[in-house]
Amino acid sequence: PFARATVSSVDALIFEGPSRSGDRVVLHARVTACFTDSLELELRVEARGVDSGDGLRRINTGFLTVSAFDDAGDPFAIPALQEPWANSAEMAMHSEAVARRFVRESLQRMFAFRAQPVAYHAELSEQLSITNIYGLLRAAHTDAITWQCLMDVKPGQVVGWSRSPCAARVFFNRDTWGLGLVSFMYRVVCPAPMETVFQAIDGLERRAEWDLVLREGEVVQPIDEHNAIVHEVFEALTSDTPHDYALLRSWRKVDESIVIATRSIVHEDVPVYSGYERGTVLPSGFILCPQADGSGTDVTYTVQIDPATISIPLENIGSLKILMLQTAISLFSQFIPSKPAPEATAVETAQDNEAKSVEFVPAESSKDDKGSDDVTPVPPKQVVLKQMRKALRESLLYSCP
């Protein structure tokens, strides 16, 4: 049987006037909707002064969600309201209650520590954008995530098949927020103003030129100057099926920094397409901060992945960290004078002479880590992809937006 009830949420609480000392307060409540184990109450609070003789005046209005429980503490089933409604006003009252519940649940999903896609609704676009930006900043700066440094590379160190032209670091977390989420982060300083770096990252066509796994991207629906619905497709590295994402992309200036955040959404204009494997992510993206001396821009890229959507070969973490590092190096290389890159055939011939598969040379084991000015040019994107596919052909790699 029903044993107790608790107030689980308060919506649209409006203070219309003061309650004075000595007032008599009257509460009026009516049920607006019944759900499975909770109901919504419309609450109206009135007050009147005993000594003054004034009539009732409204001081508060709002809506309460009350949850019911049985003796064992389990949710108690509440009977639904009877239909049809007595009049159109009651029908409208019930519809508004259902809408408020939808908004409550949507907001909860926005802030939730899980990577389930959030259904996009234009009415909630501002809240979605704010939680998108906030979610990325939270992941990048919180003390609740312990980041394991996988690589700390200095300029000139041998990494994979070339020497790194820059310093870069790659981080990893296997159980983000304690929910089994997998996260990666890389940090690199690009020798260019923040606005220039922003243009290289924000434009999908430009980003596809340097991002090792981004095949293509499309703005499906511009929302405003800071937000858009986008569809991004990423290269398949170990199979013939590329990965794609339906994303809300948001960017803002936060203090002196620029934040570019994306998160998985459900949107009618980006359905699940055949021939692609749909992935989902929590708020992920780039944080750009100008260096104090004006010499460049600190770039932090963070991605939070739900491994339930696509298998991530954590046993092959060595190849994953190389991929993240090479992507950071590729971004850095957009802002330095270009040098002749080795021909793809020459690189592949050298590999075939050494072995049938690529053997990555860890930076920490390099025999020459003094940092030479004569840095090996970064191989072209397609050459890198061929090498990564060869190295990962025995495992399934989840490519990340």
What does the pLDDT profile of the chain (401 residues) look like in tens digits? 678 899 988 887 888 999 888 889 999 999 999 988 899 999 999 999 877 767 889 999 999 999 999 988 899 988 887 776 778 888 888 888 888 887 777 777 666 655 578 889 887 888 889 889 999 999 999 998 999 999 999 999 987 667 889 999 999 998 888 877 889 999 999 999 999 999 999 999 999 999 998 999 999 999 999 999 999 998 876 667 888 999 999 999 998 999 999 999 999 999 999 999 898 899 999 999 999 998 899 999 999 988 777 666 666 677 788 889 989 999 999 998 765 544 444 444 444 444 333 343 333 333 344 444 444 555 677 777 777 666 665 544 444 45
Q: Tokens 């989420």 label which residue?
A: 181
* Burial class, 80, CB count within 10 angstroms (exposed 0-12 / middle 13-18 / buried 19+): exposed
Q: Tokens 């609740």 label which residue?
A: 144
Where are the alpha helices (H) located in 292-342, listed in sequence order? Answer: 317-332
Are 44 and 26 contacting, i.e. CB atoms less than 8 angstroms apart?
no
For 6, 12, 68, 123, the CA distances from 103, given in Å and listed in that order, are 20, 12, 21, 9
307: left (phi over 0), alpha (psi -120 to 50) or beta: alpha
Q: Which of 66, 157, 122, 123 is nearest to 364 (CA)?
A: 157
pLDDT for 377: 55
The set of residues, in sequence order, having a beta carbon less than 8 Å from that of 55 and lying 6+ positions away, is 48
Torsions phi, psi for 17 (to 5 deg): -170, 170
The set of residues, in sequence order, having a beta carbon less than 8 Å from that of 240 and lying 6+ positions away, is none
Sign, CA dihedral 396-119-145-363, equals positive
**3-state DSSP assignment of residue 326:** helix
Are 185 and 298 contacting, i.e. CB atoms less than 8 angstroms apart?
no
Lookup: tokens for 81:
């309201």
Task: Compute the distance between CA of residue 72 and CA of residue 74 in angstroms, rounded to an integer.
Answer: 6
Task: Compute the distance between CA of residue 335 and CA of residue 206 in angstroms, rounded to an integer.
Answer: 13
Own/partner contacts of 210-215, CB < 8 Å, gap of 24 or more, are 210/330, 210/331, 210/333, 210/334, 210/381, 211/327, 211/330, 211/331, 212/323, 212/326, 212/327, 212/330, 212/381, 212/384, 212/385, 212/388, 213/237, 213/323, 213/327, 213/385, 213/399, 213/400, 214/401, 215/242
Q: Which of 260, 8, 312 is nearest to 137 (CA)?
A: 260
pLDDT for 186: 97
* b/e map 107-129, b = 16+ CB within 10 Å: eeebeeeebebbebeeebbeebb
Task: Compute the distance between CA of residue 157 and CA of residue 330 in angstroms, rounded to an integer.
Answer: 15
Are 270 and 229 contacting, i.e. CB atoms less than 8 angstroms apart?
yes
**3-state DSSP assignment of residue 137:** helix
pLDDT for 41: 94
DSSP 8-class letter at 61: E
The length of the chain is 401
pLDDT for 272: 94
Torsions phi, psi for 300 (to 5 deg): -120, 120
pLDDT for 115: 58
Task: Compute the distance between CA of residue 229 and CA of residue 132 in angstroms, rounded to an integer.
Answer: 13
Task: Compute the distance between CA of residue 67 and CA of residue 36 in angstroms, rounded to an integer.
Answer: 9
The set of residues, in sequence order, having a beta carbon less than 8 Å from that of 214 and lying 6+ positions away, is 204, 207, 208, 232, 233, 234, 235, 401
**3-state DSSP assignment of residue 270:** coil
